[in-house]
Structure 1
């Protein structure tokens, strides 16, 4: 059965607003809230960048039943995997066992300012090693990796372990990370624009890799980004904090000023072409139904941008109820 989540973006909202949105999402019937983790926003003229772990702690106190998901933290450079495990375990305890850890190989805008941001092969090798620390630590085990290449640990265990086993989901936009998720993580996280491509290059790959390794099928956590606006002018206004997100070379860029300049050179039409626009929530129903039918996710989260603070989770309650009736 697919559960439904609401995505909370630190890149747009100040942390106190995200805590309020999380509470409203839970009251509106969403099963989970997914919280981004950013050191900097996507552009430098608008946006925010609160501390993800701190916000999650406040959300844990402000909610009662919703699952909390980091979407996603990078445990490779500015955050050591042992510290990420400690934060995840603490959140699990503070939330009464409601936390799931989403991790990813990072982005230059968040990692480069505090150190180096190498190419994908090294980042994937680091992630492979990091997962070998995160999962046993969150299972309450003592880890000994004195000869590890990137994160040597002589001997360590968490002294405030999780109340329950915290699942670890690996973000994937393509087949290499998806295969790693299937082999080494508890699930895969991905953002969906085209369900067929995501199915072919991410979900199917992760499931096949888990099967080949003799593991249980990975949990599949998907999100889709939509703009709720009546016209292009409203959509551009809603996308101001996000216009650097889908610019060329955005993964390696280290400055939100760079991304703003690239986005503004692209122009309105190119920015709008990168996002699905709807005039009202019910217009998303057929797309979400096709996504659920094709990909069979364990969780589907909605990320919504709207002008004038119009992205209220309660506006999507009927959509979620209709989707649940279909399942």
Structure 2
């Protein structure tokens, strides 16, 4: 089933503003709302970084049907994975079948300031993630879990309040190795739009399929989620200018790899020209053109599209999307 979600920009808006936007997204007909989990935002000036797990509980209490999740949370440095498992178990008991646990290997901007660690290489970060996912699933499904991993350990640990069904785990896949893991071990995967077609067609999707081929049983319910970076407005100039608010997304992995200070990240983003900032976004003022931009990703097999708009007027975005874009997408692709 094709789902359309809304990305609640935790770096850009306060927790109370985000809560109102989640409610507005549900009213506008979106199927899900995802929030990033950051200790610090990518900018210092007017930046925000609410605690996602607290916010998710409030959002679930204020809404009725939308699926909620993290895009993404790193259950390996700031958190012990047992605590993440406990948090989502509690949410799952109170609000059954409404949560997706989106996880990733992390960024230094979020993990280093809170812990003081030396940011490890990818090999360790990926190993920690795999181990954390194994431990969380064990705690959701077993009693008295004794876990002896390389990085994490428990002794007769029990989650006394567990949902009947463990929450699905979606793995953020930014390269072939993690994509294969996400296909083999994840309940879904997450990536972002706006990259070269070869990134999806050669690096991500084939490796997801390779991972899925190793599984036993049906994979029809597998979640293929993509954060759609969209800037849609009736004024093309306004749509293009709005992308300045998220210029940091246009920084390469090399440019931002070891940046752990929001002030430094903000300066790097500010130095980028508008053309480069806008390049990561699907920018349009024409509904039919915009639907065609989105359709390119649906044709690649993505079945859960979470729309992230860069501008400050998110209510306007939600209204425009509910009027001009979501109905067109649903008519064209038969989404629920």
Question: Using a 3 Å threshold, how does the CA distance of structure 1 residues 191 and 86 change in structure 2: closer, same or farther?
Answer: same
CA distance in 2, matches of 1:310, 1:39: 26
Matches within 5 A, 1:234-253: 235-236=240-241, 238-248=242-252, 249-253=255-259
Which of these residues, 307, 314, 317, is aligned with residue 302 of structure 1? 307
The farther-off stretch of 186-195 and 67-76 is 186-195
Normalising to structure 1: TM-score of the pair? 0.92
Listed one character per residue, the Cα deviations across residues 58-107 of structure 1 (whole Å, up to 9, x for unaligned) are: 10001101111111110010011111111111122222321111111111
- Equivalent residue number for residue 207 of structure 1: 209
Question: Using a 3 Å threshold, how does the CA distance of structure 1 residues 44 and 281 change in structure 2: closer, same or farther?
Answer: farther
The farther-off stretch of 260-269 and 29-38 is 260-269
- Equivalent residue number for residue 166 of structure 1: 167
The alpha-carbon deviation at position 270 of structure 1 amounts to 2.6
Q: Secondary structure at the match of 2:293?
A: helix
Equivalent pairs, count: 324
Q: Secondary structure at the match of 1:165?
A: coil
Where in structure 1 are there 5+ consecutive unaligned residues?
none
Is 2:277 the counterpart of 1:266? Answer: no
The farther-off stretch of 303-312 and 67-76 is 303-312
Where in structure 2 are there 5+ consecutive unaligned residues?
none
Question: Using a 3 Å threshold, how does the CA distance of structure 1 residues 134 and 280 change in structure 2: closer, same or farther?
Answer: farther
Is 2:222 the counterpart of 1:222? Answer: no
The alpha-carbon deviation at position 311 of structure 1 amounts to 4.6
The alpha-carbon deviation at position 234 of structure 1 amounts to 6.0
CA distance in 2, matches of 1:162, 1:198: 34
Determine if contact 2:246/2:277 at 8 Å carries over to the other structure.
Answer: no
CA distance in 2, matches of 1:213, 1:163: 23
Question: Using a 3 Å threshold, how does the CA distance of structure 1 residues 44 and 215 change in structure 2: closer, same or farther?
Answer: farther
- Equivalent residue number for residue 192 of structure 1: 193
- Equivalent residue number for residue 113 of structure 1: 113
Matches within 5 A, 1:118-133: 118-133=120-135
Determine if contact 1:86/1:158 at 8 Å carries over to the other structure.
Answer: yes
Determine if contact 1:5/1:302 at 8 Å carries over to the other structure.
Answer: yes
The alpha-carbon deviation at position 282 of structure 1 amounts to 4.5
RMSD: 2.0
Determine if contact 1:97/1:163 at 8 Å carries over to the other structure.
Answer: no
- Equivalent residue number for residue 144 of structure 1: 146
Q: Secondary structure at the match of 2:224?
A: strand
The alpha-carbon deviation at position 51 of structure 1 amounts to 1.1
Is 2:279 the counterpart of 1:277? Answer: no
